Amino acid sequence: MKMVKNAAGRLVPTEVNGKPAVPFKGVGKHIPSGNKAAPMIESCVHYPADGDKRVPSIKEALKRCGIKDGMTLSSHHHFRNGDLVANQVFDAAAELGIKDLVWFPSASFPCHEPVIEHMKNGVVQRVEGSMNGPLGAYCSHGHMKGLGVLRSHGGRWQAIQDGEVHIDIAVIAAPTADPFGNATGDRGPSACGLLGFALADSMYADRVIIVTDNLVPFPCIPWQIHGNNVDFVVETDRIGIPEKIVSGTTRITRSPDRLLIAEMTARFIKEAGIMRDGFSFQSGAGGTSLAFAIFLRDMMKQAGVKARFIRAGSTKYQVEMLEQGLADFILDGQTFDLEGVRSMRENPNHINTSPFTSYNYHGKGNFASMMDVVALGATEVDTGFNANVVTHSDGMLLHGIGGWQNCLASKCTILPIPSFRDRIPVIVDKVTTLCGPGELIDVIVTERGIAINPRRQDLLDAVKDSDLPIRTIQEIKAEVESMCGKPSKLKLLDKVVAVVKWVDGTIIDSVYQVP
Amino acid sequence: MKMVKNAAGRLVPTEVNGKPAVPFKGVGKHIPSGNKAAPMIESCVHYPADGDKRVPSIKEALKRCGIKDGMTLSSHHHFRNGDLVANQVFDAAAELGIKDLVWFPSASFPCHEPVIEHMKNGVVQRVEGSMNGPLGAYCSHGHMKGLGVLRSHGGRWQAIQDGEVHIDIAVIAAPTADPFGNATGDRGPSACGLLGFALADSMYADRVIIVTDNLVPFPCIPWQIHGNNVDFVVETDRIGIPEKIVSGTTRITRSPDRLLIAEMTARFIKEAGIMRDGFSFQSGAGGTSLAFAIFLRDMMKQAGVKARFIRAGSTKYQVEMLEQGLADFILDGQTFDLEGVRSMRENPNHINTSPFTSYNYHGKGNFASMMDVVALGATEVDTGFNANVVTHSDGMLLHGIGGWQNCLASKCTILPIPSFRDRIPVIVDKVTTLCGPGELIDVIVTERGIAINPRRQDLLDAVKDSDLPIRTIQEIKAEVESMCGKPSKLKLLDKVVAVVKWVDGTIIDSVYQVP
């Protein structure tokens, strides 16, 4: 494998899974050329005039799709750890004697551990997509035949749209669908909210299969997925485990340190003048993020400030803010709890978005760069404000990128993170895996103080008269190391097991095999 | 110009405006190959990070789009005869000294008469799209430099999607929009309902300009047009004349003959067993169609029958049926009155559709073939049930095809038409211009009786015991001719001025110059 040093100083392969790869050139430096992927021209002649595209099973649908060795099959992750469909697809492929498939999920979860067996028996050659938990460990240990390719949600859209990844067959699990293939995620016994992560698949794949456990007469309204892009519809008993798809309640952190971090993040936004009428913010569904949203909500109420919109992964907290008039809209990319699902179904101001609208870097703009402020997690940050979100300090690949890289485009990107975890410092000399370049990360909020990127003199000026604990990142790092000790240098093997793509499709870093 | 006889026996050119053309091969006989049009890959690098794409004028926007001689410019017709934007576009192009443009509207109206001046002075080379009124006459008289190309709504989508027509610049007049280019038609002072006819343009054109008279802060919700496909946004004082865009009320026919036709059409649907729970129907906004909808509504009420959905051009009559629970959904392609606009804005069961979902023949199915019954107009029908919808019996090109050809795919296509107009028989030996092959037209309802296509023995059987006046088309024709006389044979010049495309992009007939 030939390796070159990219613009971030990281060694990356020049070829990935047999195709040439472009090394990262710097933020905004790679200018794409050429044309988007062009799906085949279809004809109504080949589809039932009455619109009934049902076939009896996933196996039958795969056969009619012309499944062959080496094809790329895709799936979405809106069911998270409650997905019951992806494993069935590979079981069916195995029964059909198919080998060397590429699985291209929008993300994978521990429930997809059975795919490891299919990698061992040759049905699946590799996974291209985030690998959380056991699949990540399998890849980290060098067992996967091909290279893992980690992309952001926007990067996945970009890769499909630009023809870097050609999906032969997309299998879309849909909580409600009609026989024509119109489908929605916002209702049905396995409701997951929306199906935005499957939208590109439905538009660009050669063949599209809808799998549903809630068939309704045409038309399925809303049609988050257009039946006009669908080839076959399969009815099954159950496509997901509701309590693992969405939780009735989402848990706010109880850790005093995390609460402090959440509060300081909200205070920073207020003191820096970002929290003003008509502003926009985005945060996640983790315990600290939820606490942050609650602190921010209270400060907004107190100041009489209303947001124009909230970008979410929605939970009941964002929904409450919408319903209490603290925001005009929620622009939602995935729903994390039942209240999020209900709100999306019922409230016309709770809007279903996709990676196309929100994150695609190879479009005519996207929403991410319009955000006033985002709060994101990270596994590691270094003194250059570079951050890691996919590997742990031990080098293990355990997380996907999600929308994280895309969100860095915001006007103010904040990482509210603990300064150490399990006595391992989070602020390091050099991140194990580079996922986000430091020039895009503006503020690090820890329980030991707030570090502002020196590039953002405007933010330093904005809070200089506040009583926020503004410190340099070096100061915070030194303090943590005086407590936890400086971690010894990580020793990884030379073998590359996965690559991390930047939002423009270039390769920003490599992930190495762990010993 | 080389002419060949196509599968319908009509002479059609083998080349249209310099490109090879495929003669009609028969219904469902042309199987397309190849791939869809592939727009250029864009990059966020070239668009403002804050999402503000505003430029001061249409002229400036055209300049920034790189307008050049010979380019194709598109526009939509949701403003119908109240459009104030298309003429401004060509005035601006004229000021920039541009020549030989192709105008590719989804339809044109009498308000677009000024484009004739631009054809005379060379700014516009030709119009590819329906030409109603003065533009149709201009074309019919052989004054247009290029050939007119008439397509159905679905055929227009197909042509763009398949790359037959490449749009260089789409100008989309939008009743409400934000600075990013998200746009909707369902609100604002010039509200027109939806913008579905501009959807393909927004997705496939190289450059897209939104022109609005109602700019709102991001996000414009709903976003019928995605800002992610838009290059520039122009604010103007006024984009349309509301009373010409939609009428507060739509007028039902008062003609006793037309009322009889409308009633017989509704009765036929009932007697033939088509009007049953869960059925679907489509009708237009003309006076007879409105009367038909009212008769059908009353019969449905009386029988306690509920439709699953109504396809529309919506008016207050369909809206009332939806609100009275006589249908679950309206699937709407364009709104014809203020009640239609209101309902689409407010009622989640009044659904915004596009030619992609409804009519595109080169998709994985579409809605048209799923309709239980449609009622459509026609200018002429012949004894083979072939129909004409674009020219009058004098050969003048005066109408567009609209969704007419696409709707012929329904399970039962009915033409409720008067047997003569202005003492000219509507039922003829051979239609002047063939738009719809007889094999797709099932029933002709006239004030003198109902003719069922002999191919539809099932329908003949279904109504054989009813007291409906079922007759042969020949009988009706003979009766009309005995009253009006047989019309003398039409004499047109040999010069082809326009071609009529079938839904699959092949050429079904030619339109000849009138003397």
The pLDDT confidence band at residue A330, using thresholds 50, 70 and 90, is very high
Inter-chain residue contact A370 with B218, CB threshold 8 Å: yes
Interface membership of A369 toward B (CB under 8 Å): yes
Q: Parallel, antiparallel, or unpaired for β B427-428 and B380-382?
A: parallel
The answer on pLDDT for A320 being more than 80 is: yes
- Mark which residues 212-231 of A lie under 8 Å from B by CB: 217-219, 221-223, 226-231
CA angle, corner A26, sides to B51 and A425, nearest 5? Answer: 100
Residue A203 reports pLDDT greater than 90: yes
Maximal C-alpha separation, chain B:
72
Cα distance between the two ends of chain A = 19
Nearest CA in chain B to A28: B45
Whole-number pLDDT of residue A443: 98
Average pLDDT over residues A247-258: 84
Please report how many Cα atoms fall inside a 13 Å half-sphere around the Cα of residue A512, on the Cβ side. Answer: 18
Q: How many CB atoms lie within 10 A of CB B357?
A: 26
For chain A, the average pLDDT equals 96
pLDDT score of A186: 97
Q: Return the CA Rg of chain A.
A: 23
Looking at domain A256-490, its CATH architecture is 3-Layer(aba) Sandwich (3.40)
Distance from CA of B167 to the nearest CA of A (A): 15
Report the distance separating Cα A350 and Cα A353, nearest Å: 10
Question: Pairing mode, if any, of strands B327-335 and B307-314?
Answer: parallel
Task: State residue B489's pLDDT score.
Answer: 85
Distance, C-alpha A132 to centroid of its chain:
11
Name the closest residue on chain B to residue A207, using Cα atoms.
B364
Beta carbons of B228 and A161 less than 8 Å apart: no
A 10 A CB-CB count for B228 gives 23
What residues of chain B score a pLDDT lower than 70? 248-249
Residue-level length of chain A: 515
* Of residues B157, B217, B149, the one with CA closest to residue B182: B217
User: Which of B31, B231, B349 has its CB closest to that of A221?
Assistant: B349
Question: Tokens in use for A265?
Answer: 């993040």
The predicted structure's pLDDT at residue A318: 94
CATH of domain B50-128+165-245: 3.40.1080.10
Of B181, B221, B365, the CB nearest to A47: B365
What is the C-alpha to C-alpha distance for residues A202 and A106, in angstroms, rounded to an integer? 13
Q: Do A219 and B34 touch (CB under 8 A)?
A: no
pLDDT of the residue at B81 = 94
* CB contact B25 to A (< 8 Å): no
Put simply, whether A48 touches B (Cβ < 8 Å) is yes
- Tell me whether residues A364 and B230 touch, CB distance under 8 A: yes
Q: What is the DSSP string of A198-217?
A: GHHHHHH-SEEEEEES-B-S
CB contact under 8 A, B365 and A308: no
Report the chain B residue with the minimal C-alpha distance to residue A50. Answer: B370
Closest residue by Cα to residue A52 from A225, A290, A201, A231: A231
Strands of the sheet containing B443-446, edge to edge, are B350-352, B327-335, B307-314, B280-283, B373-375, B413-416, B443-446, B449-452, B470-471
Using the predicted structure, report yes or no on whether residue A249 has a pLDDT greater than 80.
no
Is B64 an 8 Å CB contact of chain A? Answer: no
Distance from CA of A320 to the nearest CA of B (A): 20
Looking at CA atoms only, how far is residue B288 from chain A in angstroms?
Answer: 27
Confidence at residue A140, expressed as pLDDT on a 0 to 100 scale? 96
Q: What does B116-185 look like in DSSP terms, one character per residue?
A: HHHHHTTSEEEE-S-B-THHHHHHHTT--SS-EEE--HHHHHHHHHTTSS--SEEEEEESEE-TT--EES
Residue B60 contacts A, CB cutoff 8 Å: no
pLDDT of residue B287: 86
What backbone phi and psi angles, to 5 degrees, belong to A44? -60, -25
- Note the pLDDT of residue B444: 98
What region does A361 belong to: left with phi over 0, alpha with psi -120 to 50, or beta? alpha
User: In this complex, is the C-beta atom of A308 within 8 Å of any C-beta atom belonging to chain B?
Assistant: yes
pLDDT in tens, B468-505: 999 999 999 999 999 999 888 889 999 999 999 999 99
The arithmetic mean of pLDDT across residues A26-39, rounded, is: 98
CB contact (8 A) between residue A231 and residue B33: no
Contacting residues of A for B347, CB less than 8 Å apart: none
pLDDT of residue B270: 98
Asked whether the beta carbons of residue B223 and residue A357 sit closer than 8 angstroms, the reply is yes
Q: How would you class A57 by CB atoms within 10 Å of its CB: exposed for 0-12, middle for 13-18, buried for 19 or more?
A: middle
ipTM: 0.97
CB within 8 Å: A278 and B364: no
- How far B352 CA sits from the closest chain A CA (Å)? 10
The residue among A44, A160, A367, A411 with the most chain B CBs within 10 A of its CB, best to mutate, is A44
Instruction: Select the residue of A41, A351, A370 nearest B32 (Cβ to Cβ).
Output: A41
Q: Which residue in the block uniquely carries the two structure tokens 């039922």?
A: B427
Least Cα separation, residue B353 to chain A (angstroms): 10
| A50 interfaces chain B, CB cutoff of 8 Å | yes
Looking at the complex, report in whole angstroms how far the Cα of residue A342 sits from the nearest Cα belonging to chain B.
15
Question: Using an 8 Å Cβ cutoff, are A509 and A23 in contact?
Answer: no
CA–CA gap between residue A513 and residue A270 (Å, rounded)? 43
Residue A309 contacts B where some CB pair is shorter than 8 Å: yes
Contact A41 B31 (CB under 8 A): no
Strands ordered across the beta sheet of B148-150: B148-150, B496-501, B507-512
Torsions phi, psi for A72 (to 5 deg): -105, 125
The domain defined by A47-128+165-245 folds into: Glutaconate Coenzyme A-transferase (3.40.1080)
CB contact under 8 A, B218 and A308: yes
Rounded mean pLDDT of A487-496? 92
Using CA atoms, how far apart are residues B197 and B124, in angstroms rounded to an integer? 22
Whether the pLDDT of residue A242 is over 90: the answer is: no
User: What CA–CA distance (Å, rounded) separates A421 from A424?
Assistant: 5
The DSSP-derived string for B346-367 is: H-TTEEE--HHHHT-TTSS--G
Average pLDDT over residues A480-508: 95
**In A176-334, which residue ranges form alpha helices assigned H by DSSP?**
199-204, 242-245, 256-271, 287-303, 316-323
Query: CA B407 → CA A182, A321, B109, B503, distances in Å?
Result: 20, 46, 22, 10
Query: Using CB atoms and an 8 Å cut-off, which of residues 155-194 of chain A contact chain B?
Result: 161-162, 180-181
State whether residue A472 sits within 8 Å of chain B by CB: no
CA of B51 vs chain A CAs: smallest distance (Å) = 6
pLDDT over threshold 90, residue A409:
yes
Sheet with A470-471, edge to edge strand ranges: A350-352, A327-335, A307-314, A280-282, A373-375, A413-416, A443-446, A449-452, A470-471
| Comma-separated ranges of CATH 3.40.1080.10 domains in chain A | 47-128+165-245, 256-490
Strand partners, A450: A445, A470
User: Which are the contacts of B63, defined by CB distance < 8 A and separation ≥ 6?
Assistant: B96
Q: Do A362 and B28 touch (CB under 8 A)?
A: no
Chain B residue numbers touching A363 (CB-CB < 8 A): 42, 44, 228-229
Boundaries of CATH 3.40.1080.10 in chain B? 50-128+165-245, 256-490
A–B: how many Cβ contacts below 8 A?
A: 177
* pLDDT 10s digits, A45-77: 999 999 999 999 999 999 999 999 999 999 999
**A492/chain B closest Cα distance in angstroms:** 36
Q: Hey, how many other C-beta atoms are within 10 angstroms of the C-beta on A393?
A: 18
Instruction: Spell out which residues of chain B touch residue A364, defining contact as CB-CB under 8 Å.
Output: 42, 47, 181, 208, 227-231
Look at B253 and A326; give whichever has higher pLDDT.
A326
Query: What is the spatial distance between Cα B343 and Cα B331, in angstroms, rounded to a whole number?
Result: 12
